[in-house]
Amino acid sequence: MTSTGTRPRIGIAIASGMLKGVFGHGVLSAFEERGLRAQVYGTSSSAVLSGGLAAVGRARATGVAYWHQAAAGAAGKGMSQVVLSSIEEYGPTLRDGLFRAGAPEFLLATSRVTNPAAAEITQGPGAKELGRQLLRNIFKGDRTWVEENLAAEVFSSYADASSDAADGAHADADARGGRPRLTPENFDAVSYASTRMMHAWSVPAEVGGEAYVDASYTCACPAREVAATGVSELIVIGADPFPVFRDIYASEEIVDGSTLDGATVRVIRPEDDLKVLGVDYAAASPEGLTGAYELGLAAGHGFADLRPGLLDPAGTPGL
């Protein structure tokens, strides 16, 4: 693990937000410029690739161009193909960087489907209507289907090889109280699974032969999981001006200034809804994306200015 000298042990958890995640990418790029590097990065859904790029020191080099490409693709070829293409493009860099000696721990949240009947629906033609219903349930505060059929599962690049199970990644890890192992071999599948919102993603997601759906249903922001790794400072990056919640059903608020597992929580989020710039969850203008990214840059630099003790004087090495 990278030595932190006199700095506290830092964790960063990035909330999902689809195209609004461009703000968080800006924050991470500013951190990279200033040498604010975490020992643990927790990601979910649309934050997986930007969080991974930050973990390997490539957030700033990639910048807003990644989001321009994603937004253009969403309009033309659909979200499944956008994500699969992004994983194909950035996967080699991430697989090379995240699993080398001295890399920070990388946590990647997913939602595992827990029974065959639900798996059949999520992998079949009924998935889109189910996805729409689950979105409607947000406004009713109804998590019943999620609680009965999904389980939050957070993969870790630091999980011991013995946590792998012969009949799937999760079983032995759950019994041990550990985490399923994220590896170069399953990274692409787990990354795609984390993003698969059923209402808009046509390609089903599987890891180790089991059905998975988007992390946001159960773990839109893995703050608790990052805190459990023993960090003392937990930076949480949101995509909206509203409170940051654990999942899209607002089951648990992640509160600025609170304490999770001994870690002090610091929340960074945009002051206004990014819609005013032209950035919504599933559609965005090029100008809006650039503006939202620059807001993230400014927020990240402002945060660093106020907390110089979190900065590494040696800077952040890239690949």
Mean pLDDT of the chain: 91
**The token pair that represents 175 in the structure block:** 């019994």
- The model carries a pTM of 0.92
Facing residues of 169 across strands?
none
Q: What is the pLDDT of residue 178?
A: 76
Q: Examine the pLDDT at 174 and tell me if it is beyond 80.
A: no
**The token pair that represents 81 in the structure block:** 């193909």
Q: Examine the pLDDT at 279 and tell me if it is beyond 80.
A: yes
Percent of the chain with pLDDT over 90: 84
Query: Distance from first CA to last CA of the chain, Å, rounded?
Result: 16
**By the 8 A CB rule, do 211 and 113 touch?**
yes
Query: Positive or negative CA dihedral for 77, 83, 85, 89?
Result: positive
Q: How far is CA 242 from CA 23, 267, 274, in A?
A: 14, 11, 11
**The token pair that represents 261 in the structure block:** 């597992």
Q: What is the pLDDT of residue 4?
A: 46
Q: Examine the pLDDT at 162 and tell me if it is beyond 70.
A: no
Q: What is the pLDDT of residue 161?
A: 57
Reduced to 3 states (helix: H, G, I; strand: E, B; else coil), residue 281 is coil
Query: Beta strand 263-268 with 259-260: parallel, antiparallel or unpaired?
Result: antiparallel
In eight-state DSSP terms, residue 47 is H
Tell me the H-state helices in 109-186.
Answer: 116-123, 127-140, 144-149, 171-176
Mean pLDDT of 221-229: 97
**CA–CA separation, 244 vs 249, rounded Å?**
11
**CA–CA separation, 195 vs 190, rounded Å?**
9
Per-residue burial over 232-267, b if 16 or more Cβ lie within 10 Å, else e, is ebbbbbbbbeeebbbbbbeeeebeeeeebbebbbbb
Mean pLDDT of 81-92: 93
**CA–CA separation, 281 vs 18, rounded Å?**
5
**By the 8 A CB rule, do 109 and 43 touch?**
yes
Q: Examine the pLDDT at 2 and tell me if it is beyond 70.
A: no
Q: What is the pLDDT of residue 284?
A: 95
